[in-house]
Amino acid sequence: ERINRRFAISCGIGYDAAVCVAIDNSQMRRKLAKFNKQKAVYTILGAREILVSDRSRGYAIADGEKKNFSSIVFISVQNQITEGGGYRFTPQASNEDGKLSVCAVDTKGKLEFASTLIASMKAKHGEKKAVDLFDCEKIEIHTEKPLAFHTDGETFEGQTLVEVRCIKRGLRIII
């Protein structure tokens, strides 16, 4: 079934979406929200997902260029620098350039991934071997195993194909 969604900040497949699913299903979120502790929920459930979230072989086609991945942890496609919990996955992102900024993390190592997450808080993860940062106008992401997917935190479980394209000036926000 084809799902069409627009997003203002980010969409992603894999770990970042699995964290969104965990948060959606969490009793902890509702309890800590009363005390304005949402970041603690991201931290706790994010740490758990490092250990349990699925990985998959797959590939992405970005503006016609194929990129192969042996163990996709997540691929985040963004219009903004940060997403949930303040992670700066795409420090090169701009919501005005007509491009999507992508962060692909491809590693089997849980410790390597954990250090990548910590580095992303200060936008230092791009130096890591497991990370591929790039911009494109269109990307197709194909995975062998179904992975969680999200658009601005709205989750869809069990996706193996995601197509994302930038609609330049396609989203207007009135404040």
pLDDT tens-digit series, residues 35-56: 666 677 778 888 999 999 899 9
Is the pLDDT assigned to residue 15 strictly greater than 70?
Answer: yes
- Please name every residue paired with 87 in a beta bridge, in sequence order, or none if there are none: 83
Average pLDDT over residues 1-18: 84
- Band the pLDDT of 169: cuts 50, 70, 90: low
More confident residue, 163 or 7: 163
86 vs 94: CA distance, rounded Å: 16
pLDDT value for 170: 61
User: Helix 38-52 vs helix 110-120: angle between axes, to the nearest 10 degrees?
Assistant: 150
pLDDT for residue 166 is more than 80: yes
Distance CA 161, CA 168 (A): 23
pTM beyond 0.95, yes or no: no
Please determine, for residue 175, whether its predicted confidence score (pLDDT) is greater than 80. Answer: no
For residue 154, give the nearest of 46, 52, 8, 28 by alpha carbon: 8
pLDDT at 69 over 80: yes
Helix axes 15-24, 38-52, angle to 10 degrees: 120
Is-contact 150 16, C-beta < 8 A?
yes
The phi and psi torsions of 4 (rounded to 5 degrees) equal -105, 125
Greatest alpha-carbon pair distance for the chain in Å reads 47
Share of the chain above pLDDT 90, in %: 58
Least confident of 63-67, 110-114, 136-140, 171-175: 171-175
Confidence of residue 173 (pLDDT cuts 50, 70, 90): low
Q: How far is CA 147 from CA 60, 88, 104, 120, in A?
A: 14, 22, 14, 22
* Average pLDDT for 151-174: 81
